[in-house]
Amino acid sequence: MENNRCQHAALRPDNSQLLVPLVTELTHKWGLQGPASQGSENSGARSTPSRSCRIEVHHSFESAAAIREDWTRLAKAVGGDLFASFDWCTTWWKHFSKDRRLEIYTFWFGDDLVAVFPLFRETLRWGPIGLRVLRLLGGDHAGTRCWPMFKTEFVEEVVPLLIAAMSRAGAWDMFQIGDLPGYFQQTEVLCAALRGASAGRTHVNQNYYPHAVFTIPEHFEKYLEQLSGNERNNIRKSERKLSKTHVLKSTMVQAGDSRAFLEEFFRWHDDYWEAQNELGFFTLWPGSRQFHSEIAQAQCDAGQSVLIRVCANDEPVGLVYAHRFNGRFHLFQAVRAPGSLWESYGPGRLLHCEAFRWCMSQGVSTVDAMSGFYEYKRRLGADFLGLTTLALVHPSFSSRVRTKLFQAMVAIVYAIYFRAWFCRIAPFLRKRFRMKNHRLVRAGMARRFIRSRFILAALSSGNRQSSNNLAGPQDA
């Protein structure tokens, strides 16, 4: 192509070649103020200078498999975590893709992959109000987060191309990126790029919900020195007391035993929350049990799942379920064994300390302990960083109106379904009449709420720090 011209392929899947990536080549000096951004309510892109760029849009992971190695290299190069990995996104999409359309945007300068935005498109609806959204994979359902991958030096050029490509692929009202983890360092440059690329309003809600992160030193004694004197004494006292009669041993579960481990893990988790007369994490999030079971087994085969069985004289103390990726240890849950045998030793504390010792042995210094504020994590030395969510509302009047109306509808659902029914009435019925979980939590209703609740944080201007079980995995 000539340098002073810009040619765009239509960003729609080819029905005759569904597994072939759709390629758009943009070689230009004058930017993206071309035909697609003139007179269309679905285009918010502004003119931005750019170097030669190639965009590939994949509508299936079978198609995207061709760039798996490039994807992984980029994720590691930009400091991406587990939720940016190809395997995580693939499995997440397999379980949570119902009524959604996959659009994976990849950006290349020559043979160099400089950005990946794995998005999905869906229309959310409550009553008569519908909202057309694009979001990053991993942003809901599994109690986890997402990570947009880009090299910082290219973001100002990539984001305008992304917005223009999204607009050509279909109408949209909101583009949401989140939740971003507390250790994501590129929020400011991403916000600036979004604001410079579109006439729409960019909403930023930083530190709106706690994200627990541990920094692990090389030795356990150094870790103890970081804690308060009271907590340090509690750990030493518990371990001395246990060592008088038992030998504590932690064993890594091998791939062949992962299925049995996970079945036991889910059963112990359910037993614990049943005894507390509360709904556990895997009941709250429809589909999360099946998702975590599959991803844990797949990653165990790849050597990235960390499944630890903790015993004392061959008596089970508890189980630790985690993943390791790019130098981080993602600690999803630590579940204690049923019964009260170990209560006097502080089983939760023992399990976390064993997980930290494993990290020290592997040279891992960062432990992602998921979202939500829990007092025991604070006592164990967690830093509570903040989750961040970004939202770009399309500049058209109709999109702004739809967004406001949809936000109001979700706020009503939140008040009635979650605050009144879920947090108050359902627990009372469960305790008083011993009602079963499936009668209290309808999967369809819960799924609709989980998919749309992001808008409450995305359009909020304050730091919103509520505490609820829909935030992330909680230990048992």
Name the pTM for this structure.
Answer: 0.83
Distances from the Cα of 328 to the Cα of 184, 306, 308, angstroms: 13, 12, 16
CB 268 within 8 A of CB 313: no
Q: At what angle do helices 288-301 and 86-96 cross, to 10 degrees?
A: 150
- Predicted pLDDT at 475: 56
CB neighbourhood size of 240 (10 A) = 9
CB 35 within 8 A of CB 45: no
Token code pair at residue 133: 């959204």
Closest CA to 61 of 11, 27, 21, 7: 21
CB 299 within 8 A of CB 305: yes
DSSP state of 150: E
From 2.115.10.20, 3.40.1190.10, 3.40.50.300, 3.40.630.30, which CATH number describes the 217-364 domain? 3.40.630.30
- Predicted pLDDT at 285: 79
Question: In a 3-state reduction of DSSP, which class is residue 428?
Answer: helix
Closest CA to 199 of 72, 37, 36: 37
DSSP state of 61: H
Q: Can you tell me the distance from the alpha carbon of 157 to that of 110, in angstroms, rounded to the nearest whole number? A: 15
Question: In a 3-state reduction of DSSP, which class is residue 229?
Answer: helix
- Is residue 70 reached through a cis peptide bond, with omega within 30 degrees of 0 on the bond before it? no
Residue pLDDT tens, the chain, 476 long: 333 333 333 333 333 333 333 443 343 322 333 333 333 343 333 333 345 889 999 999 999 999 999 999 999 999 999 999 999 999 999 999 999 999 999 999 999 999 999 999 999 998 889 999 999 998 887 667 889 999 999 999 999 999 999 999 999 999 999 899 999 999 999 999 999 988 889 999 988 899 999 999 999 999 999 999 999 999 999 999 999 999 999 999 988 899 999 999 999 998 888 787 777 788 777 788 999 999 999 888 788 899 999 999 989 999 999 999 999 999 999 999 998 888 888 899 999 999 999 999 999 999 999 988 999 999 999 999 999 999 999 999 999 999 999 999 999 988 987 788 777 777 777 767 666 655 566 666 777 888 888 898 888 754 333 333 344 455 55
DSSP state of 152: G
Q: Can you tell me the distance from the alpha carbon of 303 to that of 207, in angstroms, rounded to the nearest whole number? A: 33
Q: Where are the domains of the chain?
A: 217-364
Strands 366-371 and 383-393, sheet pairing: unpaired
- How far, in whole angstroms, is CA 245 from its chain's centroid? 42
